[in-house]
């Protein structure tokens, strides 16, 4: 009996100890869970406060944008700004934030503006940064940036107006700021005193605007959506660049002109009748071709290989190679010019007698190689037929017995004519190409006054106005 009682007593003791241990463990788990919840809650509260502060700072910066613009562009002498909405008083001036470079990189490369600091007014809390820079307001969260309001970068109707606002001043602004003009505005373009080339209208130029900024993501999206230029983004060094192209007028003042140092050549019975020239400056027509292809991807008339009949629509589009073969299409330009856009190669067979009627022009935009064997009939007027060839094409070839009245513009492709036979002369008009060779055929210069506008409507920039407008900002 005694043994049995001791056994029961031991069991009860062990159960008591287990209950105590279980309670301690449960209590510990509750404390740990509570600690975790408190930690997460504190982090969430901190992030929420940070976000709310940045939201309030956005409103202040947007107001500041308007006030600074009024002073910078001469509408008032000074403006005061109150930071009461954001009591943390974390507004600072960073005079070295953002660098802009502007240059021409086309026919006459020159630097318009070199390493000019934009400066910035910043609000920073945690990972959030809200800033005024370059006439715009930007926000960053540590993983990227976006635009709150657009910068002073106005691109409209082929005109770029860039009244740059540059910021200097006291590092810490405290609870408010006073904005004043820091000096006279400086005109960089047009300015013939700086360079005889710095005048409007622009012709055959590419204007390159490059900005280095911690808000490069926002600047990139701005350029992509608000300009028609070619945008390049380099995140590794926080840089974005946009190229704005001025339309170029290309004259056909020669029977044969090359864009390289290679002379136009003849062999066997080949002949070039008229002046020739090497190393001409001829802008690429690739942007024009690409733009036409992009426009037609949403709907242009299908040429159906121009199998026969009369064609009078304004634009035809082939999304692949176009082979007219031996068909005899008639292009009627009585009511409008006609464009034929080819996203591939373009061939005309040896027995084709393509005809152009009316007083307008037929213009081919071709992405690939061109092979002409037939005889397009333009009534003897070369201005009625123009073939523009993309830089990805390797060659434009003429052969057989064709007689072509028109102009070939292929500044990055080779051109070769090897005809003869039933025609005395094979090409009347002019050729611009990378290299030119005439063998068993002739190129005859005709209508030397003809001019071709390259880049019309494609990222076109005609007028440029650039100035700096400095302001200084001090604490109030």
* pLDDT at site 398: 87
User: Does 366 have pLDDT greater than 70?
Assistant: yes
Mean per-residue pLDDT for 302-325? 90
* pLDDT at site 167: 96
Which tokens belong to 118?
């934009």
Closest CA to 317 of 295, 334, 333: 295
Question: What is the per-residue burial (b if ≥16 Cβ within 10 Å, else e) of 317-352?
Answer: bbeeebbbbebbbbbbbeeebbbbbbbebbbbbeeb
List 49's β-bridge partners, or say none.
Answer: none
At residue 5 the predicted structure's pLDDT band, cuts being 50, 70 and 90, is: very low
| pLDDT tens-digit readout, 279-305 | 887 878 887 898 899 889 878 999 888
Q: Do the Cβ atoms of 265 and 221 come closer than 8 Å?
A: no
* pLDDT at site 38: 45
Name every residue whose Cβ is closer than 8 Å to that of residue 312 and which is 6 or more positions away in sequence.
331, 332, 333, 334, 335, 336, 338
The 3-state DSSP class for residue 281 equals: coil
Highest-pLDDT range among 140-149, 400-409, 466-475: 466-475
Q: Do the Cβ atoms of 132 and 121 come closer than 8 Å?
A: yes
Alpha-carbon distance 279 to 445, whole Å?
Answer: 18
| Percent of the chain surpassing pLDDT 90 | 48
* pLDDT at site 349: 84
* pLDDT at site 282: 81
Which tokens belong to 391?
């830089």
Q: Pick the residue with more confidence: 202 or 433?
A: 433
pTM value is 0.57
Query: How far is CA 219 from each of CA 28, 120, 225, 229, rounded to the nearest angstrom?
Result: 52, 14, 10, 13
Which tokens belong to 234?
């380099």
Alpha-carbon distance 73 to 65, whole Å?
Answer: 12
Query: How far is CA 206 from each of CA 12, 59, 245, 459, 466, rounded to the nearest angstrom?
Result: 93, 37, 4, 10, 15
The residue extents of the domains of the chain are 62-247+461-475, 249-454
List 408's β-bridge partners, or say none.
Answer: 387, 431
At residue 422 the predicted structure's pLDDT band, cuts being 50, 70 and 90, is: low
Pair type for strands 176-181 and 78-82: antiparallel
List 437's β-bridge partners, or say none.
Answer: 265, 416
| pLDDT tens-digit readout, 384-412 | 999 999 989 999 998 766 788 999 999 99
Question: What is the per-residue burial (b if ≥16 Cβ within 10 Å, else e) of 97-114?
Answer: bbbbbbbbebeeeeebbe
User: Does 227 have pLDDT greater than 70?
Assistant: yes
Query: How far is CA 160 from each of CA 193, 370, 460, rounded to the nearest angstrom?
Result: 20, 37, 10
| pLDDT tens-digit readout, 41-58 | 444 445 567 678 888 889
């Amino acid at each position: 009996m005694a043994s049995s009682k001791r056994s029961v007593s031991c069991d009860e003791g062990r159960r008591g100890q287990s209950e105590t241990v279980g309670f301690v463990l449960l209590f510990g788990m509750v404390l740990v869970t509570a600690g975790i919840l408190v930690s997460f809650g504190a982090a969430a509260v901190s992030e929420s406060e940070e976000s709310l502060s940045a939201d309030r700072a956005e409103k202040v910066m947007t107001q500041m944008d308007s006030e600074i613009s009024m002073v910078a562009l001469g509408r008032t002498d000074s403006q005061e700004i109150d930071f009461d909405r954001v009591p943390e008083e974390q507004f600072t001036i960073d005079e070295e934030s953002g660098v802009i470079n502007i240059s021409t990189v086309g026919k006459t490369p020159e630097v318009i503006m070199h390493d000019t600091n934009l400066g910035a007014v910043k609000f920073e809390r945690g990972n959030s940064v809200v800033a005024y820079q370059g006439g715009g307001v930007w926000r960053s969260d540590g993983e990227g940036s976006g635009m709150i309001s657009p910068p002073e970068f106005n691109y409209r109707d082929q005109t770029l107006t860039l009244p740059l606002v540059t910021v200097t001043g006291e590092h810490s602004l405290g609870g408010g700021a006073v904005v004043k003009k820091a000096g006279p505005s400086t005109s960089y373009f047009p300015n013939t005193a700086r360079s005889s080339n710095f005048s409007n209208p622009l012709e055959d130029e590419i204007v390159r605007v490059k900005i280095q900024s911690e808000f490069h993501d926002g600047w990139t999206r701005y350029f992509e959506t608000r300009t028609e230029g070619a945008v390049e983004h380099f995140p590794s060094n926080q840089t974005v660049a946009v190229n704005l192209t001025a339309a170029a007028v290309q004259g056909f003042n020669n029977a044969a002109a090359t864009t390289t140092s290679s002379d136009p050549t003849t062999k066997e019975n080949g002949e070039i009748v008229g002046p020739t020239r090497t190393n001409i400056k001829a802008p690429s027509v690739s942007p024009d071709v690409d733009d036409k292809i992009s426009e037609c991807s949403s709907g242009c008339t299908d040429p159906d290989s121009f199998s026969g009949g009369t064609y009078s629509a304004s634009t035809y589009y082939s999304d692949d190679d176009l082979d007219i073969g031996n068909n005899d299409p008639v292009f009627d330009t009585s009511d409008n010019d006609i464009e034929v856009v080819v996203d591939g190669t373009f061939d005309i067979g040896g027995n084709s007698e393509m005809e152009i009627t009316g007083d307008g022009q037929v213009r081919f935009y071709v992405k690939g190689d061109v092979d002409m064997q037939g005889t397009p009939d333009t009534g003897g007027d070369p201005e009625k037929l123009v073939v523009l060839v993309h830089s990805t094409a390797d060659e434009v070839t003429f052969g057989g017995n064709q007689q072509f009245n028109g102009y070939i513009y292929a500044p990055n492709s080779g051109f070769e004519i090897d005809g003869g036979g039933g025609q005395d002369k094979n090409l009347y008009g002019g050729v611009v190409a990378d290299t030119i060779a005439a063998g068993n055929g002739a190129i005859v210069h005709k209508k030397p006054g003809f001019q071709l506008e390259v880049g019309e409507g494609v990222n076109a920039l005609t007028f440029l106005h650039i100035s700096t407008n400095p302001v200084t900002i001090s604490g109030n």
